[in-house]
C-alpha cells in the first residue's frame, strides 16, 4: 500500500450517520483500541467542532503501548505538547492518519517533577516534540536518546510556558520590557 495506512484505520473515523462514539465500533483497529484501551476512552468526541475524533485519558505508563498500537495501525504523530494545569502537567499526544481523517488525542496527567516515558523509539519524530515539551515545560522523558533544549538557549534556566513563569527584566543578556 502506497501510503502505509491500513484499511482498518481509514474506517476509524466515526461516520456522520451514527452516534459519534467509538464504542459502536466495528473495525479491527477500533476493536483493538477498545480491547486494550476501552476504559480510558472518553467520548463522544466532537470532531466537527473540536477537531478530535477519538479522545483517550491514559496513565502515563501506557503511552508507549498506545504509540506502538497506533504505529502498527499506520498512524503518524502530529505533535506532542503540554498544558500547565497548575497542580499538574497534562501531556497531549495527537496522532493522525494519512487516510481518512482519524485524529486521536491522548491526554496524560503527570504530577510536576515526575518523568514520563518517551515514545521516540516507536515514533522517531517524537524526539524533537519531546525536546520542545522539555524546553517549554521542564517535563523529563525517560528513555529519550538526547533530551536537551531545542528552541531556547542551552544556558537558559527557565521553562517559559509554565504558568508561574515571569519574564525577568534581563533575559540572556537582553533588556526586556519594564515590569511592575
Interface residues with other proteins (CB under 8 A) are 2-4, 49-52, 74, 76-79, 81, 83-84, 92, 94, 96, 98, 100-101, 103, 105, 123-125, 127-128, 136, 146, 148-155, 160-161
Indicate the residue among 26 and 179 with the shorter CB distance to other proteins.
179
CB of 22 to other proteins, least distance (A): 17
Task: Calculate helix-pair angle for 28-37, 63-72, nearest 10 degrees.
Answer: 170
Q: How far is CA 174 from CA 64, 135, 166, in A?
A: 40, 19, 15
CB of 8 to other proteins, least distance (A): 15
117 three-class SS: strand
Indicate the residue among 154 and 178 with the shorter CB distance to other proteins.
154
Return the sign of the alpha-carbon dihedral for residues 104, 107, 113, 114.
Answer: negative
Indicate the residue among 35 and 158 with the shorter CB distance to other proteins.
158
Indicate the residue among 125 and 143 with the shorter CB distance to other proteins.
125
Location of C-alpha cell 515545560:
137
**What's the count of helices (H) and strands (E) in the chain, helices before strands?**
5, 9
Amino acid at each position: 500500500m502506497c501510503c502505509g495506512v491500513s484499511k482498518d484505520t481509514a474506517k476509524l473515523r466515526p461516520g456522520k450517520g451514527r452516534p459519534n462514539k467509538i464504542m459502536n465500533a466495528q473495525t479491527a483497529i477500533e476493536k483493538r483500541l477498545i480491547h486494550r484501551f476501552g476504559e480510558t476512552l472518553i467520548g463522544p468526541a466532537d470532531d466537527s467542532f473540536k477537531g478530535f475524533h477519538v479522545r483517550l485519558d491514559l496513565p502515563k505508563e501506557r503511552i508507549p503501548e498506545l504509540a506502538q498500537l497506533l504505529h502498527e495501525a499506520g498512524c503518524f504523530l502530529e505533535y506532542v505538547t503540554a498544558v500547565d494545569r497548575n497542580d499538574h502537567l497534562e501531556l497531549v499526544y495527537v496522532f493522525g492518519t494519512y487516510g481518512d481523517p482519524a485524529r486521536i488525542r491522548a491526554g496524560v496527567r503527570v504530577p510536576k517533577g515526575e518523568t514520563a516515558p518517551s515514545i521516540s523509539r516507536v515514533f522517531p519524530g517524537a524526539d524533537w516534540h519531546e525536546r520542545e515539551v522539555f524546553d517549554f515545560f521542564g517535563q523529563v522523558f525517560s528513555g529519550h536518546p538526547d533530551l536537551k533544549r531545542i528552541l531556547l538557549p542551552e544556558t537558559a534556566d527557565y521553562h517559559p510556558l509554565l504558568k508561574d513563569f515571569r519574564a525577568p527584566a534581563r533575559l540572556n543578556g537582553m533588556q526586556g520590557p519594564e515590569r511592575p
